[in-house]
Amino acid sequence: MGKDDNKKMVEDITSMDVDFAQWYTDIVKKAELCDYSSMKGCIILEPAGFAIWEMIQQKLDKMFKDTGVVNCAMPLFIPEGLLQKEKDHVEGFAPEVAWVTQGGLEPLQEKCCVRPTSETLFCDYYQKKIHSYRDLPKLQNQWCSVVRWEKTTRPFLRSREFWWQEGHTAHATAEEAQARTEQMLNIYADFCEKDLAIPAVKGQKTDKEKFAGAIATYTIEALMHDGQALQSGTSHNFGDGFARAFNIQYTDKDNQLRYVHQTSWGMSTRIIGAIIMVHGDNEGLKLPPHVAPTQVVICPIMQQKPGVMEKAQELCAKLSAAGIRVKVDDRDKTPGFKFADSEMRGTPVRLEIGPRDIENGEAVLVRRDTHEKVVVKLDELEQKTAELLEDIQNAMFEKAKAHLESHTFSAVTIDEMEKILDENTGFVKAMWCGCRECEDAIKEKTGATSRCMPFNQEHIADTCINCGKPAQKMVYWGRAY
């Protein structure tokens, strides 16, 4: 094996400038993140992809628990009657659920669906568990998969089954529910920025785009490398709508019966699609160090020489003891193959160690993000590696932020908006009157949907970009996954 193999590996990834969709699929496939299954529309999360999801779970789960959230597990199935209890909710979800009609050898008396989301199950449970103000708040979450019978599917971005967490809370007051809705959105945004190195635009969804049954949906929107938007996490305030439909009441301190106020919030394996499309390049995946299952891969040079493999293992043990996630690539392959392979799989740092390095008491660290090489004294290895990983994490965020900023535009006329979207895909900030008709018209004319009404409002014009009536809100518009 030699240079040809290395080249061949890299050549197999379509250039993102040639065909962004194919580039994406190539990375998913070659980095073995996920695979298609014989079950149409469903994917397999392969070990390399699932390991990223495990890192995400670990970090988010801790952030949730630090705010008092506890985990639980609700049933996979929802009886038809339960799904139908909240009118808006059933209208939103019924057309895309999978129905179980037979259990064992007999038909079911009442068919049930595989959960598309679990609001109705949590409501049913809370209705039984909540009696007094002492039982509040309820702050529960589950990690699971849900099913929505989509027509077209794409790995991570849209599949009939996907993995996520869904948090469901119940509160004594409307204010508390609103505060929790915002708190969880902020957790998602912080996690995206600090751990995934993905800058997030925080805001509220329009009525058209909000969750079925919510009074308000908040979202974080990220911008992919191709200028398309990806909704990356949502947090919903239900007010007392579900509580009224499911009769979830509690006795307050003055012995009055009151309805609870509820929220739900979720982040899914879609976010792995965002990691790929925000950070990846033509060499492959590029993982942010905070969530990289392997942060450092050690590539021994001339590994058959006495002492080289032993030194590689020794450095691995040292770095591991310092809390760094590290592996030795001890396969019987050339260094060139291993370099290309580790780049394709997105490992943030490659450590090269050969006989000459050992003699000099050094190792070479190579950054995945910039390909820069740093020679490091072995007695400073742990500290320098940890610093380098943080540098990479920050540099990746800054790069993504610069991309977001340079791909966010303002428009005051529909023509201007259309032109921007055609030439430089990205977000377009524009004013909106607040009516559904204009939102629909903008989509029809430009292909862009309202991504969110950002918390950071700016005054771009006095009037709606579509109808010319007085503007209510500045909105981020974009084409989206």
- Using the minimum distance from each CB to a second copy, give the nearer residue, 10 or 76: 76
The piece of 137-145, 167-175, 224-232, 340-348 that touches a second copy (CB under 8 A) is 137-145
Beta strands in 198-309 (DSSP E): 201-204, 216-223, 229-239, 249-251, 257-259, 261-268, 296-300
Interface mask (CB under 8 A) for a second copy, residues 108-127, using x and -? ----x-x------x--xx--
Residue 105 sits in the site that holds a second copy (CB under 8 A): yes
Instruction: Name which of residues 383 to 442 contact a second copy (CB under 8 A).
Output: none
Shortest Å, Cβ 123 to a second copy: 10
Shortest Å, Cβ 71 to a second copy: 5
Interface mask (CB under 8 A) for a second copy, residues 320-359, using x and -? ----------------------------------------
Shortest Å, Cβ 154 to a second copy: 16
Residue 51 sits in the site that holds a second copy (CB under 8 A): yes
The piece of 15-23, 103-111, 193-201, 347-355 that touches a second copy (CB under 8 A) is 103-111
The alpha-carbon radius of gyration of the chain (Å, integer) is 25
Shortest Å, Cβ 232 to a second copy: 20
Shortest Å, Cβ 96 to a second copy: 5
Distances (CA, A) of 403 to 144, 244, 289, 409, 435: 33, 45, 20, 12, 31
Residue of 5, 30, 88, 96 that binds a second copy (CB under 8 A): 96
3-state class (DSSP) for residue 27: helix
Interface mask (CB under 8 A) for a second copy, residues 444-473, using x and -? ------------------------------
Mark 336-372 as b/e (b = at least 16 C-beta within 10 Å).
bbbbbbbbbbbbbbbbbbbeebbeeebbbbbbbbeee
DSSP 281-348: BTTB----GGG-S-SEEEEESSTTSTTHHHHHHHHHHHHHHTT--EEE--SSS-HHHHHHHHHHHT-S
Q: Element (H or E) spanning 63, and its range?
A: helix 47-65
Instruction: Name which of residues 56 to 95 contact a second copy (CB under 8 A).
Output: 70-79, 82, 95
Shortest Å, Cβ 164 to a second copy: 12
Residue 145 sits in the site that holds a second copy (CB under 8 A): yes
In the chain the first and final C-alpha atoms are separated, in Å, by: 40
- Using the minimum distance from each CB to a second copy, give the nearer residue, 151 or 459: 151
Residues 228 and 208: beta-carbon distance below 8 Å: no
The Cα angle at residue 86 between residues 80 and 90, in degrees rounded to 5: 55
Interface mask (CB under 8 A) for a second copy, residues 156-185, using x and -? ----xx-x----------------------
Residue 45 sits in the site that holds a second copy (CB under 8 A): yes
Backbone angles phi, psi at 80, to 5 degrees: -50, -45
Residues 88 and 311: beta-carbon distance below 8 Å: no
- Using the minimum distance from each CB to a second copy, give the nearer residue, 61 or 226: 61
Instruction: Name which of residues 4 to 43 contact a second copy (CB under 8 A).
Output: 35, 37-40, 42-43
Residues 445 and 213: beta-carbon distance below 8 Å: no
Distance separating alpha carbons of residues 450 and 375, to the nearest angstrom:
48
Residue 100 sits in the site that holds a second copy (CB under 8 A): yes
In 10 A of CB 292, how many CB atoms?
26
Residue of 62, 128, 253, 459 that binds a second copy (CB under 8 A): 128
What residues line the site for a second copy (CB under 8 A)?
A: 35, 37-40, 42-47, 49-51, 53-54, 70-79, 82, 95-105, 112, 114, 121, 124-125, 128-129, 140, 144-145, 147, 149, 160-161, 163
